[in-house]
C-alpha cells in the first residue's frame, strides 16, 4: 500500500497485520481522489474508520491542511501513528482510538471532507451520516464519501447531506454526498 499522488506520492505505508482491516485499494483510492478534484486546497479531513491512515494521508499529500483519523482497533492506531511519524506529519494528522459514535459528539471542528469506510459487516453508514449532519460536523459544500459493498444503497438525502454521485469498482461502491448551504 502506498500514497498514490501529491507531495508524498509513491511513499509506502505500513499495514495492519492480519485480516482485521481492509485498506482501500490504490485503484479505488486514486479514482476517489481524482473525482474529488480541487477539493484539496487546504481544509480538514475526517477519516472515520481509518485502519492504516491510508485515506487521510493521501488527502494530506494532495493538499489538505489537517486530518483526524479515528479507529476502534488499537493495532490500527499504532500503525496510523507509525505512518504519520514516517511521513513527518505529526503536526497535521492526529489519531484517536475509540468508537466513532462516541467520539463524534465530542468534536468541535467542521470538516471539508469526511471518509467513511467501516468493516462491511458492521456498517451503520446512514446512522453516521445523520450524526455528522445533526452535530454540524461538515462544512457547507463539504463532501462525505462512503466506501461500501457494491450491493448497498443509501438514502438520497440525510438532513442537509445530499447524494450527488455513485460509482462502482467491482465489489466496491463509492457514494458521494455534499452538504447543502443553510438558508434562513
Which pTM does this prediction carry?
Answer: 0.94
What is the second-level CATH architecture of the domain 26-179?
Answer: 3-Layer(aba) Sandwich (3.40)
Residue 83 is classified by DSSP as H
Strand partners, 172: 149, 169
Structural contact between residues 139 and 107, judged by C-beta atoms closer than 8 angstroms: no
Residue 122 in this model has a pLDDT that exceeds 80: no
Q: What is the pLDDT of residues 6-50, one digit of tens each?
A: 999 989 999 887 655 666 777 888 889 989 987 778 999 999 999
> Residue 114 in 3-state DSSP?
strand
Structural contact between residues 133 and 158, judged by C-beta atoms closer than 8 angstroms: yes
Amino acid at each position: 500500500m502506498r500514497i498514490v499522488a501529491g507531495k508524498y506520492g509513491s511513499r509506502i505505508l505500513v499495514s495492519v497485520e492480519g485480516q482485521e482491516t481492509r485498506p482501500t485499494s490504490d485503484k479505488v483510492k486514486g479514482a476517489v481522489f481524482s473525482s474529488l478534484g480541487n477539493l484539496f486546497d487546504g481544509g480538514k479531513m475526517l477519516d472515520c474508520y481509518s485502519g492504516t491512515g491510508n485515506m487521510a494521508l493521501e488527502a494530506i499529500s494532495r493538499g489538505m491542511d489537517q486530518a483526524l483519523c479515528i479507529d476502534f482497533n488499537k493495532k490500527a492506531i499504532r500503525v496510523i501513528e507509525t505512518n504519520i511519524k514516517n511521513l513527518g506529519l505529526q503536526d497535521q494528522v492526529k489519531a484517536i482510538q475509540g468508537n466513532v459514535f462516541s467520539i463524534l459528539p465530542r468534536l468541535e471542528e467542521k470538516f471539508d471532507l469526511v471518509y467513511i469506510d467501516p468493516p462491511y459487516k458492521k456498517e451503520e453508514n446512514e446512522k453516521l451520516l445523520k450524526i455528522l449532519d445533526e452535530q454540524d460536523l461538515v462544512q457547507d459544500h463539504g463532501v462525505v464519501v462512503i466506501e461500501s459493498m457494491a450491493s448497498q444503497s443509501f438514502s438520497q438525502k440525510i438532513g442537509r447531506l445530499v447524494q450527488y454521485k455513485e460509482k462502482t469498482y467491482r465489489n466496491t461502491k463509492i457514494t458521494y454526498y455534499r452538504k447543502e448551504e443553510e438558508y434562513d
